[in-house]
Chains A and B, each alone.
Chain A
């Protein structure tokens, strides 16, 4: 075989990029179709017709408005979550965590490594049971502790399910604010944690790994697979995620629907208004022990916001729920001392509280 190697590589490169572009194109087409044909408005009309026309419920009853809210919201939200999870799946297929680690380990980024780690964290799906292997993998690749923390903070905070739910419940603008602040929060917390020089609080065997850490030299080679070959796997993963969160989302929306119909407008303003200085810290402290049911909690939060809870307080609560959790602390115990876990959780909580105040101030 006397194939010209440069030509071969070019061919592979073109295929790789064309696949990524196909994904982006599909996303753009989807968005255009949605805006152009007002699909959500049609959905709302359809739900309206079902509730008032077919079931013939009286127009001003609580039951009707709760049912309408439930049907419309669950269809819309599940659809949006699926689209976002699927798109993120495409991105992740080309940027698996091994590639991220390789990139951060190989390149000198002159201070931008925290931001890069945080950005990479947004596209990597996160499972708290993977946090320990991730941590060790990063550290053994010579990636600084603070940068590893940046990744570890943003990865659960800005994940595909949360983004999908946010778009469906709060709209694009709020989602964008959430994503950007999540990325910044990871970046800033990582920088703070790095300056604290926390290596001494790691478990002995992790310190051992740290001392043998080596920067990777070789460029990560992505498995050569066409977009067509990847698609079924991405699709299956997305379907699995949706299946997993389905009951939580439905229960969350059902509770939200009931509250929506029965709690009077502006009910919470009296108690947890913007001028209550303790609202944000209390929300975060309540949120941290809660775990992983972001898909169930977010629909309820949306209703709370519509009934007068400030958005900043609500976002801070949300970040506390998805960003930090007790089970994660238990897992991290295997690689670090309680003191380090406390410092880690404390720093992130503090940053969340500050961003909560900031939101309430800006929005």
Chain B
């Protein structure tokens, strides 16, 4: 699985990245986590609020930081 975190580096984006990393290691999920910081790349996902969470090229959440439980649910769909 490929997880992308879209964000220009604001505190919320960092929180999201940390949460995703924690969920992935805690549950032994086989995933590659990529931080997308370039604004042009971020805009290619057509989101209007950061941070964005992308799983296998599908935008799961945008503009908010989901809880670890929600991230876990999103990753194990």
| Mutual binders A and B | yes
Interface residues in chain A, defined as those with a beta carbon under 8 Å from any beta carbon in chain B: 96-98, 101, 127-130, 132-134, 136-138, 205, 209, 236-237, 331, 334-335
Q: Is the CB of B63 within 8 A of A205?
A: no
**Which B residues, 1 to 45, have Cβ-Cβ distances below 8 Å to chain A?**
7-10, 12-13, 39-40, 42-43
- Which residues from B are CB-within-8-Å of A98? 48
Q: Is the CB of A133 within 8 A of B13?
A: no
The A interface, classified by DSSP as helix, strand, loop or mixed, is: helix
Q: Is the CB of A331 within 8 A of B48?
A: no
Q: Is the CB of B50 within 8 A of A133?
A: yes
* Minimum CB–CB distance for B14 against chain A, Å: 11
Interchain CA distance A237-B49 in the complex, whole Å: 15
Q: Is the CB of B12 within 8 A of A237?
A: no
B60 proximal to A (CB < 8 A): no
Q: Is the CB of B48 within 8 A of A137?
A: yes
A-B pairs under 8 A by CB, number: 48
The B interface, classified by DSSP as helix, strand, loop or mixed, is: loop
Q: Is the CB of A101 within 8 A of B48?
A: yes
- Which residues from B are CB-within-8-Å of A101? 48
* Chain B residue nearest to A334 in the complex (CB): B39
**A-B CB proximity, top 5 nearest:** A129-B10, A137-B48, A130-B49, A136-B43, A133-B48
Interchain CA distance A331-B39 in the complex, whole Å: 10
- Which residues from B are CB-within-8-Å of A127? 10, 12, 49-50
Interchain CA distance A173-B21 in the complex, whole Å: 48
Q: Is the CB of B48 within 8 A of A97?
A: yes
- Which residues from B are CB-within-8-Å of A97? 48-49, 63
What are 12 contact pairs spanning A and B, CB under 8 A? A96-B63, A97-B48, A129-B10, A129-B13, A132-B39, A133-B42, A133-B43, A136-B39, A136-B43, A138-B48, A209-B43, A331-B8
B74 proximal to A (CB < 8 A): no
Q: Is the CB of B48 within 8 A of A129?
A: no
* Chain B residue nearest to A237 in the complex (CB): B64
* Chain B residue nearest to A132 in the complex (CB): B39
Interchain CA distance A133-B40 in the complex, whole Å: 9
Known: A129-B9, A138-B48, A236-B67. 4 other contacts (CB 8 A): A133-B50, A136-B48, A205-B40, A331-B8
- Of B8, B47, B48, B67, which is in contact with the most chain A CB atoms at under 10 Å from its CB? B48
- Which residues from B are CB-within-8-Å of A334? 39
Interchain CA distance A138-B47 in the complex, whole Å: 11
B46 proximal to A (CB < 8 A): yes
- Which residues from B are CB-within-8-Å of A132? 8, 39
